[in-house]
Amino acid sequence: MARQLKDGITALQATTSAALGILALASGIYTYIGVRGLLDGTGGLSALAAIAYSAAVSVGIYVFWTYVLRFFPLLKSQAARMQMVMAILLGSAAIVAMSSWLNAAALAGSAAVEQHLAETVEDYQEALGRTHEQALAALGLLPDIRIAAANFENLAEQERGQGALTGTSGSGTVVQLLTQMSSQLRELEGQIVSSRADVESLFGQGTQHLRRMRELVAQPGPVEERSIEFAEEAVQVAGLITQLKQSSIAPAVLRAAEDLARSYVAPAPDGGSAALRAQQARVVENVRETIQQQSSALAAGAEQVLAAPPVELPRFTPISTAEAVLLYAGDFVPSWAGAIAIDLLPGVIVMILFIVQASIRREEDPLAAEDTITLREMQAAMLALKRIEAVQAEMPAQTAAPTAEERDGQPAEKDDGGRRGPMAVA
């Protein structure tokens, strides 16, 4: 089993290297596309800078995973493995920082920019709608103004024809006062009605620009070119929103309501008798109180309209594809997953090799003694063999036939360097 696993690792070495090279090259290509979206200009220098960066990314990814694939599966100690894991995590974070987010920009950058444009359209639509509502809020005071004006007119007619207030018919002081108040209210009514036409015209223009902005979002073609035209339309909508804010009639209604009471001047009674003049004075005082009440009501309504929180004018900021991918990362999770996977997929191969190497260590058959000898042991054995051969070379001379003296019982003396007999040699 262990031998088969080793053979499998050897057979897949070329495939592993080729796959790692292809993944690094693909990451470099997508990184180049992402970098080109960040660099300004279209000249050769920008292209060269993008190529250099993408080439560095490809080489870095290939070298990093080659080192990890070569050494991590061979580590045996737990401390060494933990240190290598920390190095892998650090390297993976560096790869994500320098490559993966640019890969995501290449995969989903245009879609992210389009989403940015779409959300900007919604912001302008909301701002235009709220400004339109606030500009028309003063129209809610129109019924009260019309009723008050109609009441003054009716009283003036009744006083002129029947003397309903003073008991004497004719166009006297009271009729003049009532007619004056009704005329002021009718004038204010006319201002409110005319302002509505201006507000609706501005709102219609803003709606047309918003429609064009939506068309630019969905329109095919390079998103950079569409963003330029989109920015021009956004400027137009912002200007119309500002005009709508200025066209609100509520401030004019507030000033008119306050002037209605401040500009009131009671006319002098002009009746022919003292009793009629006294009656006219009482009626004028009642009219003054009515005018004060009507002025307070209109002023309160106008202040309520003006108290609404102001609409914040949105601002459109063009962004690059890489910035858009980071800003709307949560909406492009699949693209981010693919961008990171193309850089970190070799990590799966590392884990597979680690598991296989661990299995080889567990299941590998014990080796014979001659297969486990070390170099030091080999050197010691060869040295011992040489000594044995040297001793054997000296033994024939020492064990030669005895001389005549030795046969007579007297051993011959021989200078053998202090060694005598076979024991000396041993």
CA distances to 42, 151, 157, 173, 345 from 154, rounded to whole Å, are 77, 5, 5, 16, 88
Q: Pick the range with the lowest mean pLDDT from 27-41, 83-97, 377-391.
A: 27-41
pLDDT digits (tens, 9 = 90+) for 125-161: 999 988 888 887 777 777 878 887 787 778 777 767 6
Question: For 287-297, what is the mean pLDDT?
Answer: 76
Q: What is the DSSP letter of 100?
A: I
Q: Which residue has the tokens 């003397």?
A: 163
pLDDT digits (tens, 9 = 90+) for 55-70: 998 999 999 998 888 8
CB neighbours of 97 closer than 8 A, spacing ≥ 6? none
132: Cβ contacts below 8 Å, ≥ 6 apart: 199, 203, 206, 244
Q: For the chain, what are the domain ranges?
A: 2-74+332-363, 113-327, 374-403+416-426
Low-confidence winner among 126-140, 168-182, 333-347, 409-423 (lowest mean pLDDT) = 409-423
Whether 424 has a pLDDT exceeding 50, the answer reads no
* pLDDT, the chain, mean: 78
Answer yes or no: is pLDDT of 256 > 80. Answer: no
- The mean pLDDT value for 150-176 works out to 69
CA separation for the pair 127, 239 (Å, rounded):
12
Residue 415 in this model has a pLDDT that exceeds 50: no
CATH architecture of 113-327: Up-down Bundle (1.20)
Task: Measure CA 243 to chain center.
Answer: 33
Query: Does the predicted model carry a pTM greater than 0.75?
Result: no
